[in-house]
């Protein structure tokens, strides 16, 4: 039984869909005494931002700018809770956050910033969270959530596993016991686009998978596997996400680590 499984992949590759598919298939399997839960490193931040702008559907977050009220009581309480986990002073932490947002986004009025959903996630999650509050801030958050969830799980679940669908940094990959990569068939990548640092590992995976699917060489995937194991996790393999005629997403194997051939994910 896998205790923690991380999923690596660029935005839009189907990481959340894969996580939900795994959980659904696991529940339908004949095995008894096991349970899987879907979690994310970014879930505390995503939940907070959804509360700030209103609990909107994921599809509505793409390509749209929102007003983020960072002066609200909700925002200040959330910053206070993160500061407590990081062992930082609230006033200092809050001012650091506002300084970062002032440099990156338009301030509409007071402390209301206009930004795209993903841009705000990156600014708070990485520039403020990882770079100011500490690189392990979201790993520590998730570790506490898993401890709480495990302690409160029904006693009849002998094994309790977690699928974490947003492993983006080396310390996040190292936090999980195993990880798997996901790429999209219609989004090959041959180069880095110089985007946000939270996408560097995802882009490396895509380049490696593209090299295999187009050039027939798995040398870059082997190198990627070596990096993953150096970070502290076991790399199962790479899946490609596709859509059938009805638009339903499904996954197929691109490359699999023979050491883990008995572990199937699709």
Core vs surface per residue 163-200: b (16+ CB within 10 A) or e:
bbbbbbbbbbbbbbebbbbbbbeeeebeeeeeebebbe
- What is the value of pTM for the model shown? 0.88
Rounded Cα distance, 113 and 261, in Å: 48
Q: What is the radius of gyration, based on Cα positions, of the chain?
A: 19
Tell whether 82 is covered by a domain.
yes
Tell whether 149 is covered by a domain.
no
The reply to whether 67 and 12 lie within a common domain is no
Predicted confidence band of residue 114 (pLDDT cuts 50, 70, 90): very high
Tell whether 183 is covered by a domain.
yes
User: For 47-63, how does the pLDDT look when each residue is reduced to its tens digit (9 = 90+)?
Assistant: 898 888 876 665 566 67
| Mean pLDDT, rounded, for 96-104 | 94
Tell whether 15 is covered by a domain.
yes
The reply to whether 26 and 49 lie within a common domain is no
Core vs surface per residue 119-140: b (16+ CB within 10 A) or e:
ebbbbbbbbbbbebbeebbbbe
Give how far the C-alpha of residue 55 lies from the chain's centroid of Cα atoms, to the nearest Å.
19
Tell whether 112 is covered by a domain.
yes
Total number of domains in the chain? 2
Structural domain containing residue 213: 4-33+161-260
Tell whether 47 is covered by a domain.
yes
Mean of pLDDT over the chain: 87
Question: What is the phi/psi pair of residue 92, to 5°?
Answer: -65, -45
């Amino acid at each position: 039984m896998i205790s923690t499984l991380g999923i690596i992949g660029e935005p839009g590759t189907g990481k959340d869909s894969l996580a939900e598919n795994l959980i659904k298939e696991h529940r339908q399997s004949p095995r008894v005494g096991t349970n899987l839960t879907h979690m994310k490193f970014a879930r505390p931040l995503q939940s907070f931002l959804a509360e700030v702008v209103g609990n909107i559907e994921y599809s509505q977050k793409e390509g749209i700018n929102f007003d983020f009220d960072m002066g609200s009581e909700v925002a200040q309480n959330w910053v206070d809770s993160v500061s407590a986990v990081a062992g930082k002073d609230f006033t200092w932490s809050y001012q650091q956050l506002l300084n970062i947002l002032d440099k990156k986004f338009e301030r509409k009025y007071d402390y209301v910033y206009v930004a795209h959903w993903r841009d705000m996630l990156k600014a708070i999650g990485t520039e403020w969270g990882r770079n100011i509050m500490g690189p392990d801030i979201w790993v520590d958050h998730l570790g506490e959530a898993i401890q709480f969830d495990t302690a409160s799980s029904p006693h009849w679940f002998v094994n309790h596993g977690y699928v974490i669908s947003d492993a983006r940094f080396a310390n996040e990959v190292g936090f999980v016991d195993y990880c798997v990569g996901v790429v999209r068939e219609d989004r090959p990548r041959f180069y880095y686009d110089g985007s946000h640092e939270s996408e560097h590992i995802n882009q490396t995976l895509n380049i490696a998978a593209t090299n295999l699917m187009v050039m027939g060489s798995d040398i870059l995937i082997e190198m990627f596997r070596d990096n993953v194991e150096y970070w502290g996790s076991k790399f199962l393999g790479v899946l490609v996400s596709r859509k059938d005629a009805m638009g339903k997403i499904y996954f197929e194997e691109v490359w699999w680590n023979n050491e883990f051939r008995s572990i199937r994910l699709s």
